[in-house]
Amino acid sequence: MSGSGKREISRRTFLNYALMGTGGFLAAGMITPMIRFAIDPVLKHSAGGDRVAVGSPDEFGADPKRVEFKVHTKDGWYETETTMTAWVTKDEKGQILALSPVCKHLGCTVDWNTSPEHPNEYFCPCHMGRYSVKGEHILNTPPLKSLDEYESEVKDGKLYLGKIIPNPRPGVNG
């Protein structure tokens, strides 16, 4: 034995170390993008919950007015603009109510004052569903829940609509 204290490795051991190091480097190169792909949408703030301006509160009154607005949605890397609709009313106290036009029976679209037999109501022509001006479902018609409503806020002279929330109003007799 020599007194230098160096330990020699065999050619086979060196090749094993080299192949393991190269394999580890390649595996890390493949796994890192996969991990980032999986967690990146969680780390990013989504803009889908923001409120959208739909007009001045002065434009609305006791009769429902239909408004359309675009909402930017982001699902992971997929971004899109969706056109949404709301029926907006303002009562004598200035309270704004923005209702979703989606019928709670089977998802058809309701319209205001289109049934000659039942004026001044929201009407769903698919299965004869009816709702009051405040979105309350008329008892003994197909819908079992009141129309959903949008969160609303008046700020800087504009009406902003946000996410859809359940309508807390119970059904009424019609």
Q: Which of 16-20, 45-49, 57-61, 124-128 has the lowest mean pLDDT?
A: 45-49
Per-residue model confidence as pLDDT tens digits over 45-102: 444 447 888 888 889 988 999 999 888 777 767 788 888 899 999 988 889 999 999 9
Residue 69 identity? F
Q: Is the dihedral of CA 40, 42, 43, 47 positive or negative?
A: positive
pLDDT of res. 41: 59
Residue 48 CB contacts under 8 Å (≥ 6 apart), including other chains? 71, 72, 73, 74
pLDDT of res. 30: 85
pTM above 0.75, yes or no: no
At residue 40 the predicted structure's pLDDT band, cuts being 50, 70 and 90, is low
Q: Rounded to the nearest 5 degrees, what angle is found at the Cα of 4, between the Cα atoms of 3 and 6? A: 125
Class level of CATH domain 52-165 = mainly beta
The domain locations on the chain are 7-43, 52-165
